[in-house]
Structure formats: structure tokens, C-alpha cells
Amino acid sequence: MKSHEQWSVHERDDLGSQAPDDIDFPSSPRELLDAVPAAIYATDAAGRVTYFNPAAVELSGGRPELGTDQWCVGWRLYWPDETPIAQADCPMAVALREGRSIRGQELIVERPDGTRIACMPYPTPLRGADGTVIGGINLLVDISDRMRAESDLHDSEQRFVQFMQNLPGLAWIKDEQGHYMYANAAAERAFEAPLDQLLGLTDAELFSPATAAEFAANDRRVLESGCGMQTIETLEHSDGAVHHSIVSKFPLPARDGSTLIGGVAIDVTELKQTEAALRRSEAWFRTLAEASPALIWRVDPAGGFTYVNPPYLEYFGRHEDEVLDRGWFPLLHPDDASAYMAAVDAAQRDRSRLCAAVRVRHRNGDWRWIESYALPLFNDGQYLGHIGTSLDITERKQVEEALSEADSRKDEFLAMLAHELRGPLAPIRNSIEILRRTAAPETGTVVQTLDRQVRHLVRLVDDLLDVSRISRGRIELRREQVDLRAVVQQAVEAVGPLCRDLDQSLTVGLPAEPALVDGDPARLAQVLGNLLNNATKFTGRGGRISICIDEPSSSPAGSVLVRVRDTGIGIAPEQFARIFDLFTQVDTSLERVGGGLGIGLTLVKTLVGMHGGMVEVRSAGIDQGSEFVVRLPRVEAARSVAGNAGSDATAASAPRRILVVDDNRDSAESLCTLLRLRGHEVAAAFDGLEAVEAACRFRAEVVLLDIGLPKLNGYQAARRIRERLGDRCPVLVALTGWGQESDRRASRAAGFDAHLVKPVDDATLARVLAEAGAR
Ligand code: ADP
């Protein structure tokens, strides 16, 4: 303890010389050291502890054995970077060994309980009177709080840097003289200078004079006003692109009393470009909308107008305020408004396309037709309403109406024409029949020619009538189960004479089994008749014609195929689709047998279609012949089928008393002559009243009664005859130009037993007379 006292005495002298006399100063150096709140200990020259104060015990967490323990060995010490400090390297050991004071070496003391404290040691060697080191004294200042503060500062600095580096915008700090002190990564990129080059430079050294001047002026405003500001600055990049940024500049007080300038910038070049493009396209569309003669409008999801173009306002003679929102409703015609609004509502509800026509009140007071087209408008999937245009279609409507009126007048006319043509054909046909029976043998060929030509004429008139019915949708099928083999036979019989005249061979191929379809036998006969007729017409003298029904095994399932082939003029492939159109003839200059109107194939296609079938044409080309294939849905045999249409048509009937009534005297008289030639007893009447009288007086068994008669029409006459004669009423047969189902119904309702359409052919008349006799 000697050395301690020496040191103590020396210290006391030193202190005592400076202490004022009037304060209550500790009486000894030991007391003084004990009272110091910093850890202090002293050692001898070998480092053994000779003194420690209470603060040292508190700091170290242990109490050393005086004169024995070497304190710096008892502790575990670390440098700030966590590496342990060897005994010989601890600052106190170095101070004793090297006889010098050590300063500024931070270290970490680990206490026995594991807790750690950051310290700054101040080891100082003590020398004896001869100058040798006799021990040392160490002061340890707890610097944990300072270290924590420094580390917090470090952390916050790190956070700041991270934050700034990740900022999508540019950030920088300049000093009062405009030198860059800090710049984040975005600023480095935009200024095209790495940070180490950038720091310390000014705008004048980095950018063009104009740009630097612009930046500097803004910086000055911040420094002068002491307030932040926002502005737009432009900077030309090295690729020549000029970038626009929204810049915020603000003053930052520095510790030395100067003012720094902080800056943050967001590059809005793209935004500006998009905005400009948007403005351009908006202007473009607006110009378009305003220049367009069409009415253009936009409605919101609730159906109120949010935009109408000037032509719209002009069309209605209204002011914008009057039509926006729902002000356009009163412009709609009351009769159309609800249907039009229903269409608009549906389009809005379903977010779908709108196409609707409506009458609206034009500015001159007229009701005019407009047609509106609109599409739904979406933004990011959100429905914004509809945008549409409306066109004035008044003239189109008028033309359409006029056309449809003209069309239906044409149809009516065709129907009337055909009907009127049938009138004169009846007596001509009768007369031919009379001639056939009475004329001299040498006129036989003349009669045949007449007969052929009249038949042709009758077919043309029938086709014409059918076509007008088709266009008026008035063709009805009288369906039954039909064996197509019988229909083929019938068509072949009809065309037979024509083929013979032209030396054409006609072969028929029929399957052994019935080919059943659900159809109207008369119409199917018309279809095959037309095809066979064309085949002979378009095949020269000596050609070959065939008609066949494919075997079921070689037909598609559920279908019956009928083929009509010829070796005639053929058809070019490009004509295939056209020839089924109404009034189409491939080469009208062609001189053909019999001519035609170009309606036969239209009828074929329509009638086959009405039967649920289809017809196709094939030909290898001009002069290669043609083939028409009719495909009809096959039905399975449910019951036995008559299938003998017309086969007993020529059955002869026994002589009867027949009254013929027709206001066309030629018709009436020629028919009378014909019937007389067949051995019947015949009388004629020329109006309705006469008919009733004659029926009673003449005691007719059959009355062939025209419908369109003067005085009493056929229906009325039939009723009266039935009333007058009751049970003795003759068989009443309507003989008329009108052959529709509705006409047949009307005649049945009036009490007729049968309905024949003029000009009735010989065979049909014979059959009806035979059936009349069978009653
Ligand atoms: P039409 O025979 O009265 O002219 P169609 O409608 O029956 O009218 O036929 C239309 C056109 O189709 C005919 O004018 C003819 O050019 C062509 N055509 C029809 N059948 C044949 C066929 N078998 N061979 C060659 N051409 C035909």
C-alpha cells in the first residue's frame, strides 16, 4: 500500500493547491475517489489491484482481491468489433508495460453475469520518485449510452439512405453554394453522373447553362423566402429526350447555421405525353363527332343523355339543356316510344349492342324515322353507359313501304293474271279433246301438237300461279304418306310423249321396296315433272334421260334420293347456285324446246324445302349433261300406302245427266260437247239463277258449277240447289280457277261434293264422274 499512499499524497498536493477554501471538500483523496461516479482502480507495477472505488465494483460486477487479482485479467474484454482482447493487449497492461497513458481505445467489458458495457478506459502509469513505473491508475467511463445513441443514429441514417434509394423520384441535397451533398440513385441516373463524381459539383458544372440557370433561380427563391416551393423543371437527357419533372424544393437548416436545399422530383414526362395524346385523340373524336352528319350521343347507365353532337340539336331544333339527361323522351312518337325504350333498357341491362328504329319529332314538326345503333362503353370493366349514332331512315322506310306495296301488288297481279289465263284455257282444252274424238285421221298430228302446246301453256300458267303463291307464303302442302316410286311413275308418264317426240330414251330405276316420304303427292309430282321436263328441254334430239330412286343401302340414313340425269347441254359450275333463283335462265339466247320463264327450279327448290328436303345440281360442265338430286326425309312404313296417284285416272264412267254452269259460254259449251261425245246427257246454264232452275228442271245427277257467276255466285247457287232438292240433290262439283286450300274449304262449306281446278284435265274429270256414279 506504500505506493498508493505516495501517489495519494502527490495527488492531494496537486488538488489541494487549486481547491478553494470555502467549499466542503472531501477530507482525503481516497474519499474523493470513492465519491467519483466513474469506475477507478489502481494497481502496482505488476498489475495487481491496490485500490478500487464502488463505481468500479458496479461497472465490473465483481470485487477483486486487493494485492492479488489483476483486474484486467478478471474481466472479459472485447474490442468494439467483438474480437476478444488478450491480457497483454488490454490498455492498462500496455500502459504499465510501456509506461505511457493510453487514450481513445473503446472496449467492451463483459460482467460475470454476461451483461456488457461499453467503456472508454483512461489508463495512466504512476511513477516513483526515481521515475520508474511503480503502478497505474485507470479510469473507465461508461459510454454505453453514447454508443447506443451512435448506433441509433447509424440505423436511422441507414433507413434514410434506403428510403431515398428506393424513392421512385429523384432526391438530392445541396449546400448554400449549390454543391451537391447528397443524391439518391434515381438522381444519379437522371443526372447521368455516379455519386462520387456528383458530390461537390454544382448545376453549372453538370448541366447546360440554361438548365443550370433555371435550377439555380429556383434554389435562390427557396433560400430567399426560407419556404418550400413546387415547380416544373425540364432536363434534357443525353439521348436528346426532354424530361419534365414536378419538383419540390425546400430549405434544410444545417448544424453550422447555414441553409441546405433539399429537392425531390417526380418525372412526369410519360404522364404528360399520355395526357397530350389523350387530349389530341379527344379533340380528334370531338371534331369527328361534330363534323359528322349523323346524330351522335352518349347516355349514362341510367339512360340519360350526357352528350349530343350539334347535328343532333339541329335535327330536333332543341337546345342542349332541353335534351340532356332525360329530356329526349318527349321527342319519341307515342306509338313507338315504349318499344324503343324497351330496346334501350334491354341494351343497358344486358350491356349489349342496341339497334332500334323509332319515329321522332323533327324540328319542322314532322314525325321522321331514325335508326339508332349503340355499343356499351366500359372503363376497367365498369359500365359507363352507351355511345351511339342515329340515322334518319325516313326515306328508306318510304321506299321499303312503296316496294313492299308494289311487291304485293305484283303478286296479286300475277295471281289474277294466272287465274284469268286459266279461263280461256279450259274451253281450248275441251275443244282439243272434242277434235281428237271427231276430227278426220289426217288432222291427228295437228291435234297432238295443239294438245302438247296447251299442256305446256297450262303448266306455265300453273307455275306462274305457284310462284306468286310462294312469294305471298300461300302454298300449303296436303301431306300424306307417299311412295315416291308412284310419283316417279306419274312424272314419267307425263313427260313420256315429249321424249318420244324428241327421240330421247327415258330410263327409270326404282327400288323393289317402297320409298316412303311424308309429302304432298301432287307437289312432289310437280317437282319431278319440272326436273324431267327440264331434262328433255335441255337435251337435244336422241339424248338419254334417266330418273331413279337410289336403293336404301346406297342412300344416306333417313333419306330418299331421287336422281334426274340427262346427257344435254350441261351447266357451268359457276351457275350452280344461281339457277335456283327466280326468273334465272343461264343463256336466254338459247333456242330451246318449249322455252320457259325461269321459275321451274325455284318452285322445285321451294317445294322440296317445304318437305324438309334439299335439291342439288351436278354437272361436269357445258355439254356434259346434268344431274339433279332431290333428297327427302324417308319415313318408315306405318301402314300400306295407296301410292297409285292418277293410275286409274282414265277410268271410264257410265252415262250421266250433267248440268254444266259457266258464264264463259265457250267454256260451258265446249265442255258440254266433250261430255256429250262421251255419251253423257248434258245441259248448260250461264248464271247462278239459271243454274238453280236448270238443276231442278233437268234433274241433273251431277252439276259442274263455276264459282264466279253473275246473279248468284256458285256458293249461293249450290246452297239453293241443296235446299230445293234435299235428298234428290245432284253431286255438286265446283269447277273453278281458284284452287287454294281456303277455296276448297269454302266450297265444302257451301255444300259441294268435289272441287276441281280449271282447266281440268280429261282424266281427272272422268274419275270424278265415275266417283259420282258410285255414290
Ligand atoms: P326454265 O326452264 O323455265 O328456264 P328453270 O327454273 O326450270 O327455268 O331453269 C332455270 C335455268 O336452269 C334454265 O333456264 C337452264 O338454263 C338451267 N337448267 C335447268 N335444268 C337444266 C338441265 N337439265 N340442263 C341444263 N340446264 C338446265
- Residues 220-244 have pLDDT tens digits of 999 999 999 999 998 888 888 888 9
Pocket test for ligand 1, best of 498, 536, 579, 587 (most atoms within 8 A of CB): 579
CA dihedral 635, 641, 645, 649 (to 10 degrees): 180
Query: pLDDT of 390-417, one tens digit each?
Result: 999 999 999 988 888 887 777 777 777 7
**Portion of the chain with pLDDT greater than 90, in percent:** 42
Give ligand 1 pocket residues (Cβ under 6 A).
Answer: 534-535, 538, 566, 568-569, 571, 579, 584-586, 596-602, 626
- Which DSSP state fits 193? -
Q: How far apart are CA 552 and CA 514, in angstroms?
A: 10
How distant, in Å, are the alpha carbons of 113, 370, 445, 447, 713 from that of 452?
A: 136, 56, 10, 9, 33
- pLDDT for the residue numbered 74: 64
What's the pLDDT band for 583 if we cut at 50, 70, 90?
low
Residue, of 578 and 210, whose pLDDT is higher? 210
Max avg pLDDT among 573-577, 686-690, 755-759 = 686-690
Task: Return the residue matching grid coordinates 502527490.
Answer: 10
Least confident piece of the model among 454-468, 692-706, 739-753: 454-468
How distant, in Å, are the alpha carbons of 11, 62, 91, 125 from that of 135?
A: 14, 21, 14, 6
What's the pLDDT band for 24 if we cut at 50, 70, 90?
low
Cell of 649: 285416272
Determine the atom of ligand 1 nearest the C-alpha atom of 580: 6
Would you call 395 helix, strand, or coil by DSSP? helix
Q: Is the pLDDT assigned to residue 22 strictly greater than 80?
A: no
Cell of 41: 482502480
Q: Is the pLDDT assigned to residue 133 strictly greater than 70?
A: yes
Q: What is the residue type of 576?
A: F
Q: For residue 601, how far is its CA from the centre of ligand 1 (angstroms)? A: 7
- pLDDT for the residue numbered 410: 77
Protein residue with its CA nearest to atom 14 in ligand 1:
585
Would you call 711 helix, strand, or coil by DSSP? coil
Element (H, E) at 335: helix 334-350
Q: For residue 605, how far is its CA from the centre of ligand 1 (angstroms)? A: 13
Tell me the pTM: 0.44
Determine the atom of ligand 1 nearest the C-alpha atom of 625: 24
- pLDDT for the residue numbered 7: 39
| 725-737 mean pLDDT | 88
Cell of 366: 314532322
What's the pLDDT band for 375 if we cut at 50, 70, 90?
very high
Q: For residue 398, how far is its CA from the centre of ligand 1 (angstroms)? A: 36
| Whole-number average pLDDT of the chain | 85
Own/partner long-range contacts of 770-774 (Cβ < 8 Å, ≥24 apart): 770/651, 770/652, 770/653, 770/654, 772/653, 772/656, 772/701, 772/702, 772/731, 772/733, 773/653, 773/654, 773/656, 773/701
Q: How far apart are CA 633 and CA 610, in angstroms?
A: 11
Task: Return the residue matching grid coordinates 256458285.
Answer: 714
Q: For residue 561, how far is its CA from the centre of ligand 1 (angstroms)? A: 20
Q: Is the pLDDT assigned to residue 113 strictly greater than 70?
A: yes
Least confident piece of the model among 57-66, 219-228, 372-381, 440-449: 440-449
The per-residue b/e assignment along 218-239, b for 16 or more CB within 10 angstroms, e otherwise, is bbeebeeeeeeeeeebebeeee
Max avg pLDDT among 21-25, 72-76, 274-278 = 274-278
| 334-342 mean pLDDT | 91
Element (H, E) at 135: strand 133-142
Q: For residue 484, how far is its CA from the centre of ligand 1 (angstroms)? A: 23
Q: Is the pLDDT assigned to residue 19 strictly greater than 50?
A: no
**Pairing of the two strands 133-142 and 39-44:** antiparallel
Give the residues across from 53 on adjacent strands.
Answer: none
**Pairing of the two strands 657-661 and 702-705:** parallel
Give the residues across from 174 on adjacent strands.
Answer: 180, 261
- pLDDT for the residue numbered 132: 93
Determine the atom of ligand 1 nearest the C-alpha atom of 530: 7
Pocket test for ligand 1, best of 470, 578, 585 (most atoms within 8 A of CB): 585
Would you call 562 helix, strand, or coil by DSSP? strand
Residues 6+ apart with CB under 8 A from 324: 304, 305, 306, 308
Residue 40: how many other CB atoms lie within 10 Å: 21
Which candidate, 107, 99, 113, 183, places its Cα nearest to that of 143? 107
Q: For residue 611, how far is its CA from the centre of ligand 1 (angstroms)? A: 22
Query: pLDDT of 79-94, one tens digit each?
Result: 989 899 988 899 999 9
Q: Is the pLDDT assigned to residue 642 strictly greater than 60?
A: no
- pLDDT for the residue numbered 584: 65
DSSP string, 344-392: HHHHHHHT--EEEEEEEE-TTS-EEEEEEEEEEEEETTEEEEEEEEEEE
Whether the ω angle into residue 759 lies within 30 degrees of 0, i.e. cis, is yes
What's the pLDDT band for 4 if we cut at 50, 70, 90?
very low
Q: How far apart are CA 584 and CA 598, in angstroms?
A: 5
Pocket test for ligand 1, best of 499, 601, 608 (most atoms within 8 A of CB): 601
Protein residue with its CA nearest to atom 21 in ligand 1:
534
Query: What is the sign, positive or negative, of the torsion defined by CA atoms of 484, 486, 487, 492?
Result: positive
First to last CA, the chain: 167
Q: How far apart are CA 444 and CA 437, in angstroms?
A: 10
What's the pLDDT band for 334 if we cut at 50, 70, 90?
very high
Q: How far apart are CA 72 and CA 83, in angstroms?
A: 16
- pLDDT for the residue numbered 585: 66
Q: What is the residue type of 352?
A: S
What's the pLDDT band for 651 if we cut at 50, 70, 90?
very low
Protein residue with its CA nearest to atom 20 in ligand 1:
534
- pLDDT for the residue numbered 588: 46
Q: For residue 508, how far is its CA from the centre of ligand 1 (angstroms)? A: 21
- pLDDT for the residue numbered 596: 64
Protein residue with its CA nearest to atom 19 in ligand 1:
534
How distant, in Å, are the alpha carbons of 254, 465, 466, 616 from that of 471?
A: 98, 10, 9, 22
Query: pLDDT of 157-197, one tens digit each?
Result: 888 888 888 888 899 999 999 999 999 988 998 888 898 99
- pLDDT for the residue numbered 641: 40
